[in-house]
Amino acid sequence: MTDLSTMTDLSTKILERQRLIRYRYGGWLIAVLIMIACLLGLDSWLPPPLEKPRQTSVLVLDARDRLLRSFTVAGGLWRLPARVAEVDPLYLRMLLAYEDRRFADHSGLDPLALIRALGQWLWHGRPVSGASTLTMQTARLLEPHPRTLAGKIGEMLRALQLEWRYGKDEILGVYLTLAPYGGNLEGIRAASLAWFGKEPGRLTPAEAALLVVLPQAPSRLRPDRFPERARTARDKVLVRMGRLGVLNAQQVAEARQEPLPTRYRPPPFLAPHLADRLRTARPDTTLHRTDLDRDLQHTLEALARQQQAQLERSASIALLVVENRSRRVLAYLGASDFFDARRSGQIDMVRAIRSPGSALKPLVYGLGFDDLLIHPETLIDDVPSRFAGYTPTNFHHTHAGQVTVREALQQSLNIPAVAVLAQVGPARVASRLREVGLPLHWNAAHPQPGLPLVLGGVGVTLEELVTLYVGFANGGTVAPLRFGPADPQPVGQALLTETACWYLAEILRTAPTPGNVLTPGSVASPHPIAYKTGTSYGFRDAWALGFDADHTVGVWVGQPDGSPSPGHYGRNTAAPLLFRIFDLLPVPTAQVQAPPPGTLLVSRDQLPERLRYFRSAVDTPAKLTNTPPLDITFPVAGSTVELPDRDGTLADLPLVAKGGVKPLRWLVNGQPLNASGWRRDAFWAPDGEGMARITVFDQSGQSADTDVWIRRGQ
């Protein structure tokens, strides 16, 4: 009985103890669960403020992901995004060894460092060393706070939160993006570019040591302002790296001898107009990849700044370089000096609407080839003419007489080009360009462009002209240019046939080279270029466009405000720059393409009758009211003139006219005489005996001619 009672009491006590244990520990468990729930709630309610590392500078990169330009964030800060994989491993080893040796093992707080710091504080009565981990420093960069006990506790909690949410490389990436390096520099990429002029992928030990220590006191340790402080701090890091075995003694000694950077380098600033264009087109994008070649872009920008010294103080230069097959833009220069307000440097002249001068002539001739109106060997007249009330004149106010279409295009004669356009039709030219995505711009008061179109009487942009010439180089197929891999693959549309483009390329490739550039095929200019120049009315725009098998280049020179630049025209101003640019490009493997099948390669005498001569539809020569008729008074028509023989050379033949409107222009056998147009007489030096046709034109469009026989006098 007693045993049974004892056992009952024992069971009762055990049950009571179990209830007590469950009560006590259950309470603790509930408390822990409540605490965890609160922490999770706080973590969800107060997530880490990651807006700052996401608000990085907008970057514009070249085809090899090299930086062309970056834009500042709020506050004028250069904050370039950085990832662990993009940074030199030596720098990372030095950073962790100097700042947080147990970074890979702790969970945001380093207990050993905390115990050491607390002990030193109690022993010395003041803080002696810190216990901040890189995670804690990252938390402080994300959320700056006063250096108080409350601020430090908040920093620790944020560090734990970061470790809970993110991996080590992500936390380190935030630090590498936000760490301050002096001035307006944030992040290791901005610092490396500013202090060393390079990305942080490859750093010397001395460079790495400086970047390790700069964030500790970025303003006080700036090497350009306080070089001795910066050197002392850098060498301190190097010595510690030697003690920790990160560097050997020789590396430490050599690194300490390396000079400090003495100046602050601004971030790269290349292709600024294209960068602005891409940023405006895609404002929510922070990374813009282009197809540009940074080395070529840098060289051409320097070349343009050098060339602008030969221009007016307000003149500028724009250019494009395009790879023909892919239509990728390799270089883009909107102005020769972005920061020069006198030159309106921030206006993108690649997209400015300007008069093309003669740059559209190849298209008009190409359409004439396709319409079987003309052939390169077709004869065409360059004489004073009026077309439906329009009287064009040549650039030099002279006339070449009868020339081939090849010569007319190579010499950029205006009257033959207008004659061809009159039959091709200016409205048709504008329509064909509009169909392939290259609309012309003209005065809204006129519903359609007229014959002046071919001489620059419409508006185009450099981008549109280059697109057109890339089409010539691609057999007549026109498609938009590509500025970056994000642009869609262009779909081409036929503008001309391959045969017409081959004729154009062959004519323009064999055109005389401007006298102030090297001859194509020489050592310095190793390959021929099919090129065309243009000059707008009043010397406002100078153009040069050219292509070879691989590349097309377009150059514009002028004053952005439209002011004239007398003496500067396409041939003497833009063409030399065009040839210099081609000298910087690779020489094509195939320099001259074979003609397409069916191309008519014959001499003029072998042409079909309808292609031997071009008959232009012109009005009768202009007659001014009350203007005396133009006539040749000497030599008399049909006469035979004997000229003295002076040691095998015939004496000069005087030519005399009356009437007409000066200036007068003289032709003999279709060749212009170099004579003053403001006199009514001229002199011609015959090269032998025979018949000569003498022609004179006046300003009003009147003409007179005569045939005479030249005989050697006794």
Segment 555-559 mean pLDDT: 97
- The answer to whether the CB of 489 falls within 8 A of the CB of 463 is no
Tens of pLDDT, residue by residue over 580-607, are: 999 999 988 766 678 888 888 888 788 8
Residue 113 has pLDDT above 60, yes or no: no
- The answer to whether the CB of 175 falls within 8 A of the CB of 81 is no
pLDDT at 701 over 70: no
Residues 6+ apart with CB under 8 A from 61: 67, 68, 287, 288, 289, 290
- Residue the block writes with tokens 């540009």: 292
Residue 393, judged by CB atoms within 10 A of its CB (0-12, 13-18, 19+), counts as: middle
Q: Where are the alpha helices (DSSP H) in 584-700?
A: 609-612
**What is the C-alpha to C-alpha distance for residues 279 and 57, in angstroms, rounded to an integer?**
11
Q: What is the pLDDT of residue 38?
A: 59
Helix residue ranges, H only, 85-183? 89-99, 111-124, 134-142, 149-165, 168-178
**pLDDT averaged over the chain?**
87
Closest CA to 154 of 112, 109, 186, 117: 109
Catalytic site positions: 99, 358
Q: Strands 78-79 and 185-186, how do they pair?
A: parallel
Q: Is the pLDDT of residue 61 over 90?
A: yes
Token pair belonging to 516: 């102030």
Which pLDDT tens digit goes with each residue over 249-282?
999 999 999 999 989 898 899 999 999 999 999 9
Give dist(CA 164, CA 107) in Å, integer: 8
pTM (predicted TM-score): 0.78
- pLDDT band of 22, cuts 50, 70, 90: low
Q: What is the dihedral of CA 23, 28, 30, 31, to 10 degrees?
A: 140
Q: How confident is the model at residue 39 (pLDDT cuts 50, 70, 90)?
A: low
3-state secondary structure 400-424: CEEEEHHHHHHCCCHHHHHHHHHHH
When pLDDT is averaged across residues 146-155 and rounded to a whole number, the result is: 71
Query: pLDDT per residue over 179-227, tens digit each?
Result: 999 999 999 999 999 999 999 999 999 999 999 999 999 999 999 999 9
> Is pLDDT at 623 greater than 50 in this prediction?
no
Segment 343-365, tens digit of pLDDT: 999 999 999 999 999 999 999 99
pLDDT at residue 496 is higher than 80: yes
- Is-contact 159 58, C-beta < 8 A? no
Look at residue 622 in the predicted model and tell me its pLDDT: 43
pLDDT at 117 over 60: no
Average pLDDT (565-590) is 91
Q: Which residue has the higher pLDDT, 37 or 228?
A: 228
pLDDT at 8: 67
43-57, 146-160, 175-189, 378-392: range with lowest mean pLDDT: 146-160
Model confidence pLDDT, tens digit, residues 643-690: 888 777 888 889 999 887 778 888 888 778 887 667 788 888 888 888
Pull the structure tokens for residue 239: 């010595």
Least confident of 150-154, 330-334, 360-364: 150-154
Residue-wise pLDDT for 517-529, tens only, equals 654 444 445 568 9
What mean pLDDT do residues 130-148 have?
A: 81
